[in-house]
């Protein structure tokens, strides 16, 4: 039998309970801005990065289980949740820097990154900027691997978005939107699967400061044509880094086709599809999600990064289909959306 260097026996662990105090928000000031985060458990570091408009609260029900075998860090990204919301740089590269700096203040040198939606793009950018600090990647309905995105997000990226978001909080509007959501669910549409979670994101924008941060973040990654950044042109750099993709087959925000494209572009990656789930598969089936994360981290060795290997990958370039005859257009479109 051939020995797989990325596989190792399931480690023996001592399960421990997690108290409510560990799940409470904590705060660190980094570069003058308050960063909120949740920290729980002991063991190898597992960083949970939420999506746009969301917060660490999206992981709250999963953290106790994951924290039995890991040190779990779940930040509120700048501009989100209880973190400060300055007029700042909300690009994926800036978010990757922010995650690095928060982990540094917490004494965590390397970690497995779990990123959902925008957080998936941030996790990929973190791995690109700081490969020596990335042990594994777990990408959940991740942005940054295709142009398509829900038309509502494209609409919110246009001028006048502030007024549209503000109008959703007018008296009576919530009732009308709720009726529309129930209708979509009765019609069994994909958007109906995700609408309740998406409405929760709107409810998490209580004031103009929060809405401004949301729009600035969205416009850094989406315009009227769709997603404006990609990591597809650099996915070959994940060679040797354990990577798992988790996606709902009824995702109305980031189509499941993106999962198959990313899986093909990431050498040795693993793909798990949640049937019947939308953009939040960890809400639809939390038990399966936790089981997959625990099994993946227990049976794969952390990436063994070296400067020499990185140099070789960069010199060889992408071996993917974008270089094949007829693939020049795909490569050019991806390069136009690169996040450097």
pLDDT score, position 262: 92
Q: Residue 223 pLDDT more than 90?
A: no
pLDDT of residue 162: 63
pLDDT, tens digit, for every residue of 253-310? 899 999 999 999 998 999 999 999 999 999 999 999 999 999 999 999 999 888 998 8
117 is catalytic: yes
* Confidence (pLDDT) at 6: 40
pLDDT in tens, 126-154: 999 999 999 999 999 998 888 877 777 77
Who wins on pLDDT, 307 or 189?
307
**pLDDT, tens digit, for every residue of 87-124?**
989 999 999 999 999 999 999 999 999 999 999 999 99
pLDDT at 207: 74
Beta carbons of 338 and 232 less than 8 angstroms apart: no
Which residue is catalytic, options 117, 141, 157, 269? 117
CA dihedral 186, 191, 196, 201 (to 10 degrees): -160
List, in sequence order, every residue forming a beta bridge with 111; answer none if it has no partner.
134
Weakest-pLDDT range from 1-5, 182-186, 195-199, 226-230: 1-5
Count of positions (residues) in the chain:
340
CA proximity to 58, closest of 124, 144, 116: 116
Q: Does 141 participate in catalysis according to the annotation?
A: no
* Cβ contacts of 151-154, under 8 Å, gap ≥ 24: 152/198, 153/218, 153/222, 153/253, 154/222, 154/223, 154/224, 154/225, 154/226
Active-site entry in 65, 84, 194, 251: 251
What pLDDT is attached to residue 145? Answer: 83
Tally of CB atoms within 10 A around 270: 15
φ/ψ of residue 16, rounded to 5: -135, 150
Name the token pair of 291. Answer: 């089981």
Q: Which residue has the higher pLDDT, 18 or 197?
A: 197
- Tokens 């354990």, located at residue: 242
Q: What pLDDT is attached to residue 232? A: 83
User: Is pLDDT of 327 > 50?
Assistant: no
Q: What pLDDT sits at residue 80?
A: 94
SS (H, E, C) 146-167: CCCCCHHHHHHCCCCHHHHHHH
Answer yes or no: are the C-beta atoms of 104 and 70 closer than 8 Å: no
Q: Which residue has the higher pLDDT, 8 or 276?
A: 276
- Determine contact, residues 18/40, Cβ cutoff 8 Å: yes
Distance CA 248, CA 153 (A): 19
Question: Does pLDDT of 12 surpass 80?
Answer: no
pLDDT value at 78 more than 50? yes
Asked if the model's pLDDT at residue 83 lies above 50, the reply is yes
In the predicted model, what is the mean pLDDT of residues 50-75? Answer: 95
Q: Residue 233: what pLDDT?
A: 84
pLDDT of residue 36: 97
Residue 3 has pLDDT above 80, yes or no: no
Instruction: Quote the pLDDT of residue 9.
Output: 35
Q: Which of 80, 116, 263, 279 is catalytic?
A: 279
Confidence label for 333 from pLDDT (cuts 50, 70 and 90): low
Quick check: is 279 catalytic? yes
Q: Distance (Å, rounded) from C-alpha 26 to C-alpha 340?
A: 31
Nearest to 144, CA basis, from 325, 28, 266: 266
Across all residues in the chain, what is the average pLDDT?
81
**Which whole number is the average pLDDT over 222-238?**
83
């Amino acid at each position: 039998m051939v020995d797989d260097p990325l596989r190792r026996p399931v480690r023996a662990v001592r399960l421990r309970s997690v108290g409510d105090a560990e799940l409470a928000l904590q705060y660190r000031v980094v570069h003058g801005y308050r960063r909120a985060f949740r920290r729980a458990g002991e063991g190898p570091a597992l960083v949970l990065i939420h999506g746009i408009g969301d917060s660490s609260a999206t992981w709250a029900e999963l953290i106790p289980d994951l924290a039995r075998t890991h040190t779990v860090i779940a930040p509120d990204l700048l501009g989100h949740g209880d973190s400060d919301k300055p007029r700042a740089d909300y690009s994926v590269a800036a978010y990757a820097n922010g995650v690095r700096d928060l982990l540094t203040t917490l004494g965590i040198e390397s970690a497995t990154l779990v990123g959902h939606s925008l957080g998936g793009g941030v996790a990929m950018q973190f791995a690109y900027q700081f490969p020596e600090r990335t042990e594994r990647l777990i990408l959940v309905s991740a942005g940054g691997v295709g142009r398509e995105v829900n038309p509502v997000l494209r609409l919110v990226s246009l001028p006048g978005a502030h007024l549209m978001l503000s109008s959703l909080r007018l008296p009576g509007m919530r009732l009308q939107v709720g009726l529309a959501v129930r209708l979509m669910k009765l019609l069994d549409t994909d958007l109906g699967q995700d609408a309740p979670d998406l409405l929760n994101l709107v409810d998490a924008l209580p004031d103009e400061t929060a809405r401004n941060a949301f729009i600035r973040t969205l416009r850094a990654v989406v315009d009227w044509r769709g997603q404006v950044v990609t990591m597809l042109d650099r996915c070959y750099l994940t060679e040797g880094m354990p990577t798992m993709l988790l996606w709902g087959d009824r995702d109305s925000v980031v189509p499941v086709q993106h999962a198959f494209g990313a899986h093909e572009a990431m050498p040795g990656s693993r793909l798990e599809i949640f049937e019947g789930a939308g953009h939040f598969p960890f809400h639809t089936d939390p038990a399966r999600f936790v089981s997959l994360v625990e099994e993946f981290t227990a049976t794969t060795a952390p990436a063994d990064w070296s400067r020499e290997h990185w140099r070789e990958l960069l010199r060889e370039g992408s071996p993917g289909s974008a270089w094949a005859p007829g693939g020049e257009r795909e490569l050019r479109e991806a390069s136009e959306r690169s996040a450097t």
